[in-house]
Amino acid sequence: MRLLITRPQDDALKLAQQVSAQGHDCVMAPVIYIVARDVVLPSPENIQGLAFTSANGVRALSQQLGPNAADWLRLPAYTVGPQTQQAALAAGFGGAQQAAGDVESLADLIASRQPADADMPILHIAGSHLAGNLQALLAAHHVSVEKAILYEAVAATAFEAPVATALQQATIDGVVIYSQRSARIFIDLFNALKAPAGKKPVAFCLAPAIAQLMQAADFETRIAAAADEPAMLALLQENA
């Protein structure tokens, strides 16, 4: 298959290598661009742990640690799912723990590990667009949260010319989509092409909620068995 990879650039490169190894032809077309923000961080001594809701957050924090990096890396780290945990472990957060792939399970994980009504908050390393409200979820468990928005997740405004041409000529067999926001952006960009009626790429979706958006836009969908990269790779292999 010829597959369009819509993930942000760093994630797209890694995924494209794995998908190409399966024998697919990959075209990278990020629909979200990650732009770092310069933010003054609190002292690691004043927080009780870190919450990461994306690998982009791990990378953004790693770029800002500075001379007291060791103090940050010793903090308990809680990650939303397997990709984020892998990024945290690679960055040196040796005890990074993994939730089940959504903000609700991340809140449950943190609440089960951290004392309620503690003097110091959890620091949520986040981007400018958030899925779910970790702060509100943990407030129900009496765990306080501060948010550090370390990057902007900027939506693409158009496909690059070769990608647009491939979509218009229906030479893309499938599009790989990892988030609801990516799905919405892809749909808007695809509709703006005014491509002739005909074959649309099959949407390979990481979760049912993503598939629902694509189905509403008249795309045929396939859904990974779990919300993680191994399940997506298995889905693509099954449909090779």
The reported pLDDT for the residue numbered 66 is: 83
Question: What confidence tens digit (pLDDT) does each residue in 55-110 have?
Answer: 999 999 999 988 889 999 999 999 998 889 999 999 999 999 999 888 999 999 99
Which residue in 69, 71, 70 sits closest to 46, CA to CA? Answer: 71
CB–CB of 19/3 below 8 Å? yes
The SS3 call for residue 23 is: coil
What CA dihedral angle connects 119, 55, 181 and 219, to 10 degrees? -140
CB–CB of 153/178 below 8 Å? no
The radius of gyration computed from the CA coordinates of the chain, to the nearest angstrom, equals 19
CA distance linking residue 51 with residue 181, whole number of Å: 21
The reported pLDDT for the residue numbered 67 is: 86
Question: What confidence tens digit (pLDDT) does each residue in 109-125 have?
Answer: 999 998 887 889 999 99
pTM as predicted: 0.83
CA distance linking residue 7 with residue 53, whole number of Å: 15
- pLDDT above 70 covers a percentage of the chain that reads 98
